[in-house]
Every structure is written in structure tokens, then in C-alpha cells.
């Protein structure tokens, strides 16, 4: 834990430095670099783009991930198993490999770099998070509950709406929040498909570091960590991290 947390503490400390370059320990305390973050237009514009992209990709992941998980959860066939495994392949593939593959594939479909290409790429990463958590939660629900709904006169849609969906919502919520965090911090995929108008925050940070290396990088990184911690706190307060990761 010390090995993992210490660099983060150093980044947060450097963000409050009054020096014009990155140095640790810091010589003095100042908020000038947070002012720099909010006054530097590319940082704020890319942060809004990242948030919009993360929410949009998560919505796509929810819309496609829920039926995919429910469709393969109860089946014992090899095809269903293969589909379930295929849904997780974007998580086991390095981001740069997935980015290269999507670059050629989307080019063949004549989809140019921009928000649509970013949305498709990030959605491919969002779907496995949603489908995996929904699949785990749904398999824990006894089949008898759905059978009881059918016996009481409910059709498939009614059973899905009133019996299944309310019970898998913890998985949907957890998978959605985690996919938002992954999308917000994703660099490899965003680097391939961003443009001058649709660059995400990680890409802008990397570009900024290539030209200058001042504590504003630490300040914007601290803001990223705050957003991630806030999202994790919401998950924990709503359902509990231990319960969600233990399904």
C-alpha cells in the first residue's frame, strides 16, 4: 500500500507547490497551478469532453451489456460460453493493440477520427465491465423467482422488468461506474481517435508534458484522482465495494 499510495501523495503535494518546476519536497505552498488548470482552455475543454465521452460510452455499455449478460447467463451451450468469453476480450487485450485494430477497422468503415470513433472505442471497453457485473449478479438470482413471475401471469417483458432488472441493478450500477472511470482515464484508445476538437484530458496532459513540465500537470492529475475517488465513494455508499467485488 505504501508503494502504491506514496507516488499519489507526492503528486498531490507537488500540485500545491509555489515553484515554477516540479520538485519534491516543495519549497512553499500555492494555489497558482490550480488557477492555471482552470484558466488553460485545453484542460477544461478536454475534461468536459472526457466526462461527456465517459457518460455516453457507459450508456452504450449498459444498453448492450445488460441484454448480452442476461442472454448468456442461463444457457449451458458452448456457444453461450464462447460469447460470454468474447465479451471479456477487450479487458484482456492491451489498449494499444485494441486501438490499432479499431483504427484499421473504423477506417475501413469510413469512420474518421472524432467523437463517434472515440465513442465506439470506449464503448467496447465499457461493455465488458457492465456485462461482467450483471452476469455475476444475475447468475446468483434463483431461477425459481422468474418461474414464479411467469406462473403469476407475467410475460417475458414483465418478468424482466419487475423481477430481473431490479435485482441486477447493483451490477449495472457498479459496472457503469467502473466503465466511466476507465473511460475517463483511458489514454491508448483516446490517443488514436482524438482530434483537435475532441481531445480527451489524458491526451491533452500528455501533449502538454511534451512541451512543458510544470506543477499544473500535478494539479490536473489531482483533480482526476478526486473525480475517481468521488465515484468510488458513491459506489461504496450506494452498494458497498466489498459486496460488489465479491459477487
Q: Give the pLDDT score at 204.
A: 86
pTM above 0.85, yes or no: no
pLDDT beneath 70, residues of the chain:
238-247
The full set of domain ranges for the chain reads 2-245
Nearest-CA neighbor of 224 among 180, 171, 173, 172?
Answer: 180
Nearest-CA neighbor of 44 among 204, 211, 227?
Answer: 204
Neighbour tally for 147: CB within 10 Å: 12
Q: CA–CA separation, 180 vs 203, rounded Å?
A: 17
CATH code reported for the domain at 2-245: 1.10.3720.10
- Backbone φ, ψ for residue 182 (5° rounding): -65, -40
Q: Residues 6 or more apart from 238 whose CB is under 8 A from it?
A: 173
Q: Give the pLDDT score at 56.
A: 92
Q: CA–CA separation, 205 vs 11, rounded Å?
A: 14
C-alpha cell at 188: 491508448
Q: Are 170 and 137 in contact (CB under 8 A)?
A: yes
Instruction: Evaluate the CA torsion angle 119, 120, 121, 126 in order and state its sign.
Output: positive
Q: Residues 6 or more apart from 188 whose CB is under 8 A from it?
A: 94, 95, 96, 98, 99
Amino acid at each position: 500500500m505504501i508503494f502504491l499510495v506514496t507516488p499519489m501523495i507526492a503528486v498531490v503535494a507537488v500540485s500545491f507547490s509555489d515553484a515554477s518546476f516540479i520538485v519534491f519536497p516543495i519549497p512553499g505552498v500555492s494555489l497558482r497551478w490550480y488557477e492555471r488548470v482552470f484558466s488553460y482552455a485545453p484542460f477544461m475543454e478536454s475534461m468536459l469532453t472526457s466526462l461527456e465521452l465517459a457518460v455516453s460510452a457507459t450508456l452504450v455499455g449498459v444498453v448492450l451489456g445488460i441484454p448480452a449478460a442476461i442472454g448468456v447467463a442461463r444457457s449451458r451451450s458452448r456457444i453461450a460460453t464462447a460469447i460470454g468469453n468474447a465479451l471479456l476480450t477487450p479487458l484482456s487485450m492491451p489498449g494499444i493493440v485494441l486501438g490499432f485494430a479499431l483504427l484499421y477497422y473504423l477506417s475501413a468503415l469510413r469512420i474518421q477520427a472524432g467523437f463517434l470513433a472515440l465513442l465506439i472505442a470506449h464503448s467496447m471497453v465499457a461493455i465488458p465491465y457492465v456485462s461482467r457485473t450483471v452476469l455475476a449478479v444475475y447468475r446468483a438470482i434463483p431461477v425459481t423467482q422468474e418461474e414464479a413471475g411467469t406462473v403469476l401471469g407475467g410475460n417475458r417483458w414483465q418478468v424482466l422488468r419487475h423481477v430481473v432488472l431490479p435485482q441486477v441493478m447493483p451490477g449495472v450500477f457498479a459496472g457503469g461506474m467502473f466503465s466511466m472511470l476507465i473511460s475517463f482515464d483511458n489514454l491508448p484508445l483516446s490517443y488514436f481517435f482524438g482530434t483537435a476538437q475532441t481531445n480527451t484530458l489524458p491526451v491533452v496532459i500528455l501533449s502538454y508534458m511534451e512541451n512543458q513540465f510544470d506543477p499544473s500537470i500535478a494539479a490536473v492529475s489531482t483533480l482526476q484522482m478526486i473525480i475517481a475517488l468521488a465515484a468510488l465513494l458513491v459506489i461504496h455508499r450506494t452498494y458497498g465495494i466489498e459486496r460488489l467485488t465479491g459477487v
